[in-house]
Amino acid sequence: MLKSEFAPAKINLTLEILGRRSDGYHELRSLVAFAQDVGDVVELASGSLSGVEITGPFAGDISGSNLVDSAIAAFAEKVPGAAPNRLSLVKNLPVASGIGGGSADAAATLRLLSSAYPEVSEPDLLTMARVLGADVPVCIRARPVMMTGVGETLDEVALPHDLYAVLVNPLAGVPANKTSQVFASLGAATLAGTPSKEPTPRFSRIDDVIAYAKARGNDLEAPALRLLPIIGTVLADLRRLENGLLSQLSGAGPTCFTLFKTRSEAEAGALALRLRQPSWWIRPTRLG
């Protein structure tokens, strides 16, 4: 019987880079949400096919080993003999796009493999996830959180149910080391000490989310724009959409988003943008 796990797109509603730590990693603070109906799918089934089969519209953009392979290896190390006979990835999200596609795929793989091993707990999965990358732990839970440290501290946040977005990626070519180039261009200052922990924000209304996200922004937006100027075109087009509340970059880009109060407004915005930019990847979704 086919088993599957949804790997939702991860959206950085905010991304503050607080400085570079003595170990070379960057201290961050990010309000993270997940698309409820936009993402990849990892499937597990019986069969004799070895390795990971990749299908979907962006399958051709993945070459060599990927985080799904790494997740399988990490799980097999924890649970010997647990490697699947057949595992496939339906790649619906653009690659290297700032919405955590690879990390979400790895997290979904760990969740899927653990479904057959009840002795593997969520803390076990988080331990495996931390080895795979800074964004993998937040994708294990795939729920709204305030993410701090280097991604290891996750405080759950309640978002209003009726928070919608249009996600847009211009499908422009990005360098393989995009994220490292963006961070290098940012040139974050060295941290003098451990940043003080802020209280976890509370959001009663969408307006609270908008006000918070607008005030915090995304510190990677300016350096990402220098590397990929087309991000400026995307943001300008998004800011023209009727009923759009806030438009920002997610992660290191180039995917950007605009927030809306209703699904119909988000869908209308996506349709209007597709008419202007038919070659772009454009998806309306609810965030949660």
Largest CA distance in the chain: 54
238 Cβ contact partners less than 8 Å away, ≥ 6 residues apart: 166, 168, 244, 247, 256, 257, 258, 273
pLDDT of residue 86: 77
Q: Please provide the CATH number assigned to the domain covering 3-156.
A: 3.30.230.10
Q: Write the CA distances from 158 to 13, 163, 165, 232, integer angstroms.
A: 13, 11, 17, 31
The CATH 3.30.70.890 domain(s) of the chain lie at 164-286
The CATH 3.30.230.10 domain(s) of the chain lie at 3-156
**CB atoms < 10 A from the CB of 141, how many?**
18
Rg (CA), the chain: 19
Q: Helices 101-114 and 67-78, interaxial angle, to 10°?
A: 30
pLDDT of residue 35: 98
Handedness of CA 262, 263, 267, 268 (dihedral sign): negative
216 Cβ contact partners less than 8 Å away, ≥ 6 residues apart: 14, 15, 16, 29, 31
pLDDT 10s digit of each residue in the chain, 288 long?
Answer: 578 999 999 999 999 999 998 887 899 999 999 999 999 999 986 665 567 889 999 999 987 778 998 998 899 888 877 766 678 999 999 999 999 999 999 999 999 999 888 889 999 999 999 999 989 999 999 999 999 998 889 999 999 999 999 999 999 999 989 999 999 999 989 988 777 788 999 999 999 999 999 999 999 999 999 999 999 999 999 999 999 999 999 999 999 999 999 999 999 999 999 999 999 999 999 999
Q: Which residue has the tokens 């003595």?
A: 22
Binding annotation: 94-104
Binding annotation for ATP: 94-104
Tell me which of 3.30.70.890, 3.90.800.10, 3.30.1360.120, 3.40.718.10 is the CATH number of domain 164-286. Answer: 3.30.70.890
- Parallel, antiparallel or unpaired: strands 3-12 and 153-156: unpaired
pLDDT of residue 10: 98
pLDDT of residue 47: 61
Rounded CA-CA distance 66/71 in Å is 9
Identify the bridge partners of residue 87 per DSSP, sorted by sequence position: 44, 52
Whether cis (ω within 30° of 0) applies to the bond prior to 223 is no
Could you give the 3-state DSSP secondary structure of residue 47? Answer: coil
Is pTM, for the whole model, over 0.75?
yes
**CB atoms < 10 A from the CB of 61, how many?**
15
**Residues known to be catalytic:** 10, 135
pLDDT of residue 49: 52
Identify the bridge partners of residue 90 per DSSP, sorted by sequence position: 41, 55
Could you give the 3-state DSSP secondary structure of residue 257? Answer: strand
